[in-house]
Amino acid sequence: MKKKWKAVVVLVAVLALIGIVGYTDVYGIGENTTGTAQDIKLGLDLAGGVSITYQVVGDENPSAEDMSDTIYKLQRRVEAYSTEAQVYKEGSNRIDIEIPGVSDANTILQELGQPGTLYFIAQKDADGNDNYTMSYGIDANGSIGYTYTLNKTIEDLQEDGSIVLTGTDVATAQAGTYQNQMQNSEFVVSLTLTEDGAVKFADATQKAYDGQESIAIYYDGRFVSVPNVNSVISDGQAQITGMADFEEAENLASTIRIGGLKLELEELSSNVVGAQLGEQAISTSIKAGAVGFALVVVFMLAVYYLPGLAASIALSLYAVLVVLLLDAFAITLTLPGIAGIILSIGMAVDANVIIFARIREELATGKSVKSAVKIGFDKALSAIIDGNVTTLIAAAVLGLRGSGTIKGFAQTLALGIVLSMITALFVTKAILNAFITLGATNPKLFGVAKEKKTIGFLKKRVIFFIASAAVIVSGFVAMGINKGSIGNVLNYSLEFVGGTSTSVTFNEDLSLADIDDQVKPLFEEVTGDANVQATKVAGSNDVVIKTRTLNVEEREEIMQSLEDTFAIEEKAINQETISSTISSEMRSDAVVAVLIAAFCMLLYIWFRFKDIRFGASSVLALIHDCLIVLAFYAWFRVSVGSTFIACMLTIVGYSINATIVIFDRIRENLQGGSKKEDLEELVNRSVTQTLSRSIFSSLTTFFMVAALYVFGVSSIREFALPLMVGIVCGTYSSVCLTGAMWYVLRTKIKKATQKNK
């Protein structure tokens, strides 16, 4: 009786937790509170933010190299506000910054400072005169203390050689702590200088040390730090001490980093802008998520009976906890972030599918339900851990090495993976055991696995290899055709190649719904492209519409259509060429991050499976899946933008997880199989045993993405369509290719070794 009461308590506790967390998500707890769902930070594409335009001071045509360097450094700086912040070039000498999730442009401008040059100034010039003087009074922060006054202009200091370094001589600046001689912690800023900067700083600190002088750091018209030189610094590594707390150290480090810009900028304008995807994007995504989730629950109940009910309850807990934790960890949610959540939901279901398949196999051997559940969870554990850890490795690398939307994707994916493992391995198990304790011990409630006839997948491996190679080659053919017809191998969107920004001052304040229904379709009709981003400037009638690059005829057609449709004058329309929001450096960061992630996954699989051929086959499958989806982008000319990166990363995570399950079964069968069994037969048997899992997991994830495609706005559909192709492709490669590739590598390498002997 006690056990039954405990089981009831477990079920009631789980349901109560779902209710409490769900209520908190929607309504919040306490007076004058809002639900955590409303408090989640949304990206610029979903909720809007602050837009700031800077112009280069004193140069109408700065070099492309200087502009690129400045944009990249500003990008890294503004990511402190949001990983989804964007920085891009407008015209020849302007830089736009868009920061989501904030609404106070003045505060951002004050904290960001005037992007320009930072100077390290020697205390005395060559003649022994003071370049700056110290007095006792009120400092820049309003506190009583020492203040400093510059005695010369920057131009004079440059001419007489008193500026010993500039911000471009600093490679990195990081806030931190260290233990002083008294074993007390002090807050410091650690500087790493460039190779040239190290040489110049060694000479400057030698002179300052001999004269017991300081070297001031001057930025944006004020002294930000005046540290004394306590030793000669010749290795390019310096520390600035004397900060009161970590926040002061971080502010100084941030100032030094932004002071490393090659160009000096001045603010032209700052605005609060609306969501780029329009107000429908969030509502349709929520509807799609609800429909997709409902389909998954119905599917789990129909296929897995009572375990399906347990999984559905656990998945409900997972869903409400994700919303709560997105707010708790202050993760900015964007369209790529939604992709990470979708993938993690698929993986949460996948873990349950693996477990339930194992339980049914044990029931088929005649074991009791209680024993089958215990053994099923035990046997499924390795596949679940390995699959999730490999994807978690990828998420960690992408989060550390990536930038912009990649970081947002990595954060939501990592959160989802950890949470899905907990709910699948602990919550589902607790619910199932509670059901069993309450008397649900009939095997019919769980389903019993039927003996499956082994399918000869490997006999058709040559056909599979040729078919995959043909599709991949056709993709490169399509790229060649695209290069000749549209000028690029793929249909790159404005995020990758830049485009045209059209600013329109309408005669009335259009709502977001009006912009979605009336303005965006006009641009889509002219461009023939659904990738149109429209943002509304708060407190005005201004709307900014970004599209792919428009030629002269298209610009004139759009201007004429705007004039005819909205009765506005030509002077109310301004068109500018803008650069890509994903810079070449960011693309390089993404490529490096993916390569490092693939290498780390290869090492982990090698370590876990004691056979590098498993890892090599997994990576080959990842490359295959990405190339197949790339071929789809090429043939159907789907717009390649920021969601393209998220799509590819989603496919990588999904594919590796499916492959691990099959390899785990091959490893298990190798350890416990009959010595007389042929290796080819063993691989076929392993793939057949995991076939239902591969298909069912793909279906549940497909449901979620398909719902996004059906209910989403045009830009979301352009993301969902190739993702559905990737899910199908990932399932195909896991079932038809990975086992075959491992078999070929194992047998060919073994034969080659024997011949060499």
Q: Is residue 271 part of a domain?
A: no
Q: Domain span at residue 520?
A: 501-578
Per the CB < 8 A criterion, the answer to whether 481 and 473 are in contact is no
Token representation of residue 697 = 């997991």
Q: Is residue 270 part of a domain?
A: no
Do 348 and 200 reside in the same domain of the chain? no
Q: Is residue 452 part of a domain?
A: no
| CA 731 – CA 735 distance, rounded (Å) | 6
> In this structure, what CATH number is given to the domain that contains residue 389?
1.20.1640.10
Token representation of residue 390 = 């490999």
| CA 213 – CA 114 distance, rounded (Å) | 28
Closest CA to 493 of 276, 275, 286: 276
Q: Is residue 75 part of a domain?
A: yes
- By DSSP bridging, strand 499-505 and strand 573-578 are antiparallel
Cα separation of the two ends of the chain: 68
Do 336 and 415 reside in the same domain of the chain? yes
> In this structure, what CATH number is given to the domain that contains residue 59?
3.30.70.3400
Per the CB < 8 A criterion, the answer to whether 122 and 204 are in contact is yes
The pTM of the full predicted model, rounded to 2 decimals, is 0.71
Q: Is residue 30 part of a domain?
A: no
Instruction: Please state the φ and ψ torsions of residue 102, each to the nearest 5 degrees.
Output: -130, 160
Token pair 């499958």 is found at 621
What is the structure's pLDDT at 343? 62
What is the structure's pLDDT at 199? 92
Do 570 and 623 reside in the same domain of the chain? no
Do 160 and 301 reside in the same domain of the chain? no
Q: Is residue 569 part of a domain?
A: yes
How many structural domains comprise the chain?
Answer: 5
Do 110 and 124 reside in the same domain of the chain? no
Q: Is residue 266 part of a domain?
A: no
Q: For residue 228, what are the contacts with CB-CB under 8 A and spacing of at least 6?
A: 212, 213, 214
Per the CB < 8 A criterion, the answer to whether 259 and 219 are in contact is yes
- 626, containing H or E segment: helix 612-636
Do 644 and 526 reside in the same domain of the chain? no
pLDDT along the chain (757 residues), means of 10: 86 92 76 66 72 83 84 77 79 84 71 71 90 74 73 89 88 82 80 90 90 86 84 88 81 76 78 65 76 89 94 91 84 69 72 90 92 92 86 80 69 84 91 93 90 91 96 96 90 82 91 84 86 81 88 91 90 85 68 79 84 89 92 91 74 79 90 76 93 87 85 76 90 94 86 47
- State which of 114, 131, 161 marks the end of a domain: 114
Q: Is residue 34 part of a domain?
A: no
| CA 100 – CA 86 distance, rounded (Å) | 9
Per the CB < 8 A criterion, the answer to whether 527 and 554 are in contact is yes
Per the CB < 8 A criterion, the answer to whether 724 and 647 are in contact is no
